[in-house]
C-alpha cells in the first residue's frame, strides 16, 4: 500500500504546471496569432507552452479542414477572441 502512495507522489502530473497557474504567475501570455508565448524561460514553462501550442495547432487544423480555411486564419481568429 505504501508503494501506491509513493508512486502517486512521484507522478509528474501531480506536480505539473497548469495553464491557469502559469497565467497567474506571469509565466505565459496569449498572442494575437492564437498561441501561447513563454514569458519565463524555465523548462517547465517551455514544456507547457510547447504542449499547449501543439494541441491548439491540432484543433485549429481540424477546424480549418472542416471549414476549408487556412490553419493560420483559424489560429488568428482564436487569438483575437482571447486577446
On whether residue 14 sits in a domain, the answer given is no
Q: Can you tell me the distance from the alpha carbon of 75 to that of 83, in angstroms, rounded to the nearest whole number?
A: 12
What's the pLDDT score for residue 83? 56
What's the pLDDT score for residue 81? 82
Q: How many independent structural domains does the chain possess?
A: 1
What's the pLDDT score for residue 17? 86
What's the pLDDT score for residue 15? 53
Low-confidence ranges of the chain (pLDDT < 50): 1-14
On whether residue 10 sits in a domain, the answer given is no
Neighbours of 1 (CB within 10 A): 5
Q: Radius of gyration of the chain from Cα atoms?
A: 16
On whether residue 1 sits in a domain, the answer given is no
Percent of the chain topping pLDDT 70: 80
Domain coverage including residue 49: 20-82
pTM score, whole prediction: 0.77
On whether residue 6 sits in a domain, the answer given is no
On whether residue 72 sits in a domain, the answer given is yes
Amino acid at each position: 500500500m505504501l508503494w501506491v502512495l509513493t508512486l502517486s507522489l512521484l507522478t509528474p502530473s501531480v506536480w505539473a504546471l497548469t495553464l491557469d497557474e502559469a497565467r497567474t504567475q506571469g509565466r505565459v501570455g496569449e498572442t494575437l496569432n492564437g498561441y501561447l508565448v513563454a514569458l519565463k524561460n524555465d523548462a517547465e514553462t517551455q514544456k507547457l507552452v510547447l504542449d499547449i501550442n501543439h494541441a491548439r495547432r491540432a484543433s485549429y487544423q481540424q477546424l480549418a479542414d472542416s471549414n476549408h480555411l487556412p490553419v493560420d486564419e483559424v489560429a488568428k481568429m482564436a487569438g483575437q477572441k482571447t486577446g
